[in-house]
């Protein structure tokens, strides 16, 4: 029977959250009620660490409910055990680290966590004739669970918020969303304006938080801080820089953004000469609608030559 990968992650996330509870709840919060919860949690932690899905499931109420936050839900101890078995098979080295935990007097516990693991086993996904074979890829995702206990000390309800799209992207399963060409054209125009703003962080904000930009196959700048530094280097070196958008080609979650760069190298240590060169970026659009990855290409030889000898000015459309 094929099971939803989203619910596999969701149910497993609840167990991950439980792992964090035992380690992080302060001793002075262990009231009688909390103490009973912790007994169950510590046993659940031990079961998780030995990858015993049945023992993990025993700590949940028979009709335990998981709500994902989009109106969908998942219910039942046996179903939980089954999806957890799938997860243990796919990620046998999964490790959880909690980033924050809050215990409330209303038998509710909030856990924020980070999960790391390696995809070493097959994983079945509805809609595919075959399961996704092990990719060997390492993954890291974040999530949070708001867990309620019943009077018997069993977990009966969970409000789970998990970055499942991030996990699937890291496995190469989700390739991003299909982009609307008209919307992406507007996005590209705003991206161009950001390059021309002399505010490097504005350019970086067009990328996903862990988005990357690689130029001519070089080491990528990853994350908005690094991307801001890239933009700053051009804006500082060419205070009068102007980026012109020459065109845009869109195919589902991919796009090719064509550009021409014009400016005078009057920044610190600059040659004082004017340059004009063209290139393009190959974009992969992430599920958040931002640039997840950009590979930039231009003639670096022509660029370096212009820095040495400049260019002969001709009428332009600047």
How does DSSP classify residue 17? H
Q: What is the pLDDT of residue 14?
A: 44
Instruction: Please give the CATH number for the structural domain made up of 5-170.
Output: 3.10.450.50
Closest to 296 (Cα-Cα) out of 219, 232, 202: 219
Domain boundaries, the chain: 5-170, 181-309
Q: Along the 318 residues of the chain, how does pLDDT read in single tens digits?
A: 444 444 444 454 544 443 443 334 343 344 456 667 666 767 776 777 788 889 888 888 999 987 766 566 778 998 888 888 888 899 899 877 777 666 777 787 766 677 788 999 987 654 455 677 899 999 988 877 777 889 888 889 887 787 777 777 788 775 555 568 888 999 999 999 999 999 999 999 999 988 999 998 889 999 999 999 999 999 999 999 999 999 999 887 889 999 999 999 999 999 999 999 999 999 999 878 899 999 999 998 989 999 999 987 654 555
- 165 CB-near residues (< 8 Å, 6+ apart): 174, 287
% helix / strand / coil in the chain, to the nearest 5? 35, 35, 30
CA distance 211 to 205: 10
How does DSSP classify residue 178? P
The CATH number for 181-309, chosen from 3.10.450.50, 3.10.20.30, 3.30.70.20, 3.30.429.10, is: 3.10.450.50
Q: What is the pLDDT of residue 165?
A: 73
CA distance 87 to 79: 12
Which phi and psi (to 5°) does residue 308 adopt?
-90, -40
Structural contact between residues 90 and 119, judged by C-beta atoms closer than 8 angstroms: yes
Q: What is the pLDDT of residue 248?
A: 93
Q: What is the pLDDT of residue 203?
A: 96
- 152 CB-near residues (< 8 Å, 6+ apart): 61
CA distance 184 to 61: 47
């Amino acid at each position: 029977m094929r099971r939803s990968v989203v619910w596999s992650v969701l149910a497993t996330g609840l167990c991950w959250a439980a792992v964090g509870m035992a380690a992080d709840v302060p001793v002075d919060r262990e009231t009688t009620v909390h103490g009973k919860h912790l007994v169950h949690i510590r046993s659940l932690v031990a079961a998780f660490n030995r990858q015993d899905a049945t023992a993990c499931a025993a700590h949940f109420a028979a009709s335990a409910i998981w709500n994902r936050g989009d109106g969908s839900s998942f219910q039942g101890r046996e179903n939980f055990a089954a999806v957890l078995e799938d997860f243990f098979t796919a990620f046998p080295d999964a490790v959880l680290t909690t980033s924050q935990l809050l215990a409330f007097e209303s038998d509710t516990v909030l856990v924020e966590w980070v999960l790391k693991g390696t995809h070493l086993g097959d994983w079945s996904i509805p809609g595919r004739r075959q399961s996704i074979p092990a990719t060997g890829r390492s993954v890291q995702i974040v999530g949070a669970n708001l867990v309620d206990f019943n009077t018997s000390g069993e977990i009966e309800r969970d409000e789970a918020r998990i970055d499942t799209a991030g996990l699937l992207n890291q496995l190469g399963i989700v390739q991003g969303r299909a982009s609307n060409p008209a919307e992406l054209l507007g996005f590209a125009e705003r991206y161009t304006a950001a390059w021309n703003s002399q505010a490097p962080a504005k350019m970086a904000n067009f990328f996903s938080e862990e988005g990357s930009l690689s130029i001519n196959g070089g080491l990528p700048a990853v994350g908005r801080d690094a991307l801001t530094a890239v933009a700053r280097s051009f804006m500082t070196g060419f205070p009068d820089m102007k980026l012109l958008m020459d065109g845009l080609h869109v195919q589902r979650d991919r796009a090719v953004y064509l550009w021409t760069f014009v400016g005078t190298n009057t920044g610190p240590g600059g040659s004082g000469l004017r340059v004009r060169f063209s290139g393009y970026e190959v974009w992969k659009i992430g599920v958040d609608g931002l640039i997840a990855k950009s590979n930039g290409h231009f003639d670096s030889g022509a660029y370096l030559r212009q820095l040495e000898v400049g260019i002969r000015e001709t009428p332009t459309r600047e």
